[in-house]
Amino acid sequence: MREAGGPVIPNYAAHSSSCVVHNHAFCWGWVDENWGSVLWPALRQHVLLVAAAVAIGFAIAFALALAAHRYRRIERPTIFVTTLLYTIPSLALFELLVAPVGANVISAEIALVSYTLLILFRNILTGLRSVPAEVLDSAEGMGMSRRQALWRVELPLALPAIIAGLRIAVVTIIALATIVYTIYDAGLGVPIHTALGEGPFKTELIAAGALAIALALLADGLLVLAQRALTPWARAR
Amino acid sequence: MHEFVEAFKFILHNGAIAGEPELPSLAHLALETLKVGAIGVAVSALIAVPVGVWLGHIHRGSFAAINLGNVGRALPSLAVLAIGDAFLGLGLSVVELALVILAVPPIITNTYLGVDGVDGEVVDAACGMGMGATEIIARVELPLALPLIFAGIRTASVFVISTATIASLAGFSGTLGDPIANETSYHFYGVLGAAICVAALALAVEGALTLAQHALTPRGLRLERQTQADPASGAVAHAATLSTQ
């Protein structure tokens, strides 16, 4: 993170274009020159932060949802705790984790994971519960064990709701990960912060902000495609 | 855990820091945060509820109404605030504009889902009783959709408090985010104390609105709802089932 009080214009080499010097709305030249050194590393870190958080969050939420599907009384306390975590504003949660865990990637991931849990848990459970009882009866009639019915009937039918949850979680975490820079020097928040400290430097602000939004839209689109590929029966209807 | 002890002392001293006499009190910052947030939510509701009610009433635009909510989530608060700062300068009105941009989508989505989801037979019955479109909206659809509309306002409120604190990172001062963004003056215990206050404020608002939502739910709907889990973020699950169709 760049210290406050540093140079007024960022990456302000002798050959800066007049566009950058005059801080025009958007300077393609700057983006071109600083893609490899500023924007791409931030984007890559952002993707890694989000991917790790969603993967871990999904594993936890999936286990909890399966448990709540079997034992109903797990649902209420889980909803209560995950709602609590979801409600705490991101900036505050990051700082609250710094005291016990430290200003590092682990704090960042704990916070990001905690924001995925409510969304994923609710959607996975809703999906599992939406499987009609007759379908489960026929699975049983075909001689499937409970475990077989879960993996071969209930989960495939719950897939659309699960992926809908993943879409919301991924998009939310991509937006929230821009705040990670306050405790750990990574992600698209880093160039946004640099740009804010310098004027603000518009090109860098817009480029980093647009990358975060584009990443969210791209991830959302990929998940829609994944859902289509994974649920071929839904298209036939 | 020593840091937490210091942070609670900071809260008990109402945000006073030795050697920094000019800092505003925590109570003042908390009230300002609530004020900034309340304006944002009120303006958003004034825009979003009529749009959502109308779309739900004519049962059109489900794709737009639902996906608007998802697009809203994709906008990073910090980027929206920063871009507003770059082009308009970061005064109260630009912060409110950012809050409205972020708070309108969840309210539209939930209002739409609430009104669109009103049982068609109920609307037919109201029609048969001689009610016109305005009366159906005001006396049937709105009351029945109220719990979901309120869930949307609740989501938006928590979102707005979070964003109002993030505004401090973008250089807007006057909210509880100030101490968090200014570790130089406040030291880490001040940052932590303010973080505790922000979390408490958000939870208190969520709790108060949950109670209000419960009070606003028509009695007939309450029975029905007890069989389901309390819709903490009812729209999430609801939107999930809808977008699978």
More confident residue, B84 or A69: A69
Helix (H, G, I), strand (E, B) or coil at B160: helix
State pLDDT tens for residues B125-167: 998 998 988 888 888 899 889 888 998 999 899 889 999 999 9
Nearest C-alpha in B relative to A80:
B232
How do residues A8-21 score in pLDDT, each as one tens digit? 555 555 456 777 87
Q: What residues form DSSP beta bridges with B20?
A: B17
Select the residue of A83, A91, A161 nearest B177 (Cβ to Cβ): A91
Size of the A and B interface in Cβ pairs below 8 Å: 165
Q: What pLDDT score does B223 carry? A: 59
Contact B149, B212 (CB under 8 A): no
Find the residue in A nearest to B179 (Cα): A92
| Per-residue tokens: A135 | 């379908």
Chain B CB contacts of A161 below 8 Å: 240-241, 244
Residues 8-47, chain A: which have Cβ within 8 Å of B? 25
Phi then psi for residue A145, to 5 deg, are -80, 170
Cβ separation of B203 and A88 shorter than 8 Å? yes
> What pLDDT does A124 receive?
95
Closest Cβ–Cβ partner in B76, B85, B192 for A175: B76
Partner B contacted by A127 (CB < 8 A):
yes
Contacts of A167 in chain B (CB under 8 A): 70
Checking if the pLDDT of B188 tops 50, the result is yes
A89 vs B202: CB contact, 8 Å cut-off?
yes
Pairwise CB contact (< 8 Å): B166 & A90: yes
Q: Do B86 and A176 touch (CB under 8 A)?
A: no
Do A91 and B198 count as a contact with CB atoms less than 8 A apart? yes
pLDDT at site A13: 53
Query: Which residues are within 8 A (CB) of B31 and not within 5 positions of it... i.e. 6 or more apart?
Result: none
User: From the candidates A24, A78, A95, which should be mutated to test the interface with B, based on the most B CB atoms within 10 A?
Assistant: A95
For B228-240, how does the pLDDT look when each residue is reduced to its tens digit (9 = 90+)?
Answer: 433 434 444 444 3
Task: Tell me what pLDDT residue B224 has.
Answer: 57
Indicate the range of A88-92, A135-139, B27-31, B67-71 predicted with least confidence.
B67-71
Within its chain, how far is the Cα of B122 from the centroid? Answer: 30
**A98 min Cα distance to partner chain B (Å):** 9
Q: Which tops the pLDDT comparison, B195 or B70?
A: B195
pLDDT the model gives residue A47: 96
> B1 CB contacts (<8 Å, ≥6 apart)?
A99, A100
Does B64 score more than 70 pLDDT? yes
Please, which pLDDT band fits residue A202 given cuts at 50, 70 and 90?
A: confident
Q: What is the mean predicted confidence (pLDDT) over B110-121?
A: 90
The per-residue pLDDT for range B47-61, each reduced to its tens digit, is 999 999 999 998 888
pLDDT of B244 higher than 70: no
At B75, the amino acid letter reads L
Q: Kindly list the residues from chain B whose CB atom is less than 8 angstroms away from the CB atom of residue A69.
A: none
d(CA A91, CA A84): 15
Average pLDDT, chain A: 88
Whether the complex's predicted ipTM is more than 0.90 is answered with no
CA distance A141 to chain B (A): 27
Percent of residues, chain B, with pLDDT higher than 90: 30
Cα-based torsion angle of the residue sequence A42, A44, A49, A50 in order, rounded to the nearest 10 degrees = 110
Q: How sure is the predictor about B120, in pLDDT bands with cuts at 50, 70 and 90?
A: confident
- Nearest by CB: B74 against A98, A123, A175: A175
Instruction: Report the SS3 class of residue B129.
Output: coil
Question: Over the stretch B200-230, which tens digit does the pLDDT of each residue have?
Answer: 999 999 999 989 888 877 777 765 554 443 3
Q: For the residues A224-237, what does the mean pLDDT come to?
A: 81
Q: Find where tokens 């300077």 sit.
A: A27
**B53 burial type by CB count under 10 A (0-12 exposed, 13-18 middle, 19+ buried):** buried
* Euclidean distance between CA atoms B160 and A34, whole angstroms: 33
Is the Cα torsion angle B232, A135, A58, A178 positive or negative in sign?
Answer: negative
- Is A80's pLDDT higher than 70? yes
Distance between CA atoms of residues B104 and B96, nearest Å: 12
Q: What is the pLDDT of residue B231?
A: 40
Short-list B239, B242, B244, CA closest to B73: B239
Q: What is the pLDDT of residues A113-171, one digit of tens each?
A: 999 999 999 999 999 998 998 998 999 999 999 889 999 999 999 998 999 899 989 99
Residue A236 confidence (pLDDT): 63
pLDDT of the residue at A36? 82
Containing H/E element for B139? none
